Structure 1
């Protein structure tokens, strides 16, 4: 197919922005999924050292973006199991 090799990409220069945008979108998706897997309290990778990882986040704010607010001084609405 045309546009898949470097030789044909030199002839079809209009495809270069398409490949760049696709690569940036895939890269952003990979970075965000990696962040979710490593930083989210819903994911527990090691249950032997921390059997209840959700308890660490009882008084923490873990949203992607939120206004500055100290959640450590407030009572958490989360139920205690």
Structure 2
């Protein structure tokens, strides 16, 4: 297919930004997916060692970015048996 090789890029230089931005978007989407799979309290990879993963974030900041950057404890209720 024309435009997908280095020779084709020389003929159609306007395709270079397209490939750069689409590639960057794919890398960003993969990074965010991995972050969600590893940092989200709704996902539990170790069910036996951590039976209540939602309790880990009771005293941590959960949001990825806050404009004020003030720490507020999680509003999650305390579950007791």
TM bucket by the smaller chain?
0.7 to 0.9
The change in CA–CA distance for 1:44 and 1:63 in structure 2 (over 3 A counts) is: same
Shift in Å at residue 59 of structure 1? 2.6
Task: Output aligned runs, 1:16-35, within 5 Å.
Answer: 16-35=16-35
Give distance in 2, aligned partners of 1:32 and 1:77. 24
Give distance in 1, aligned partners of 2:21 and 2:10. 18
Give distance in 1, aligned partners of 2:6 and 2:20. 14
Q: Which residue of 1 aligns with 2:79?
A: 80
Structure 1 gap segments, 5+ residues each:
none
- TM-score, with length taken from structure 1: 0.81
Q: Which moved more, 1:60-69 or 1:40-49?
A: 60-69
Displaced runs of 4 or more, over 3 A: none
Give distance in 2, aligned partners of 1:77 and 1:49. 21
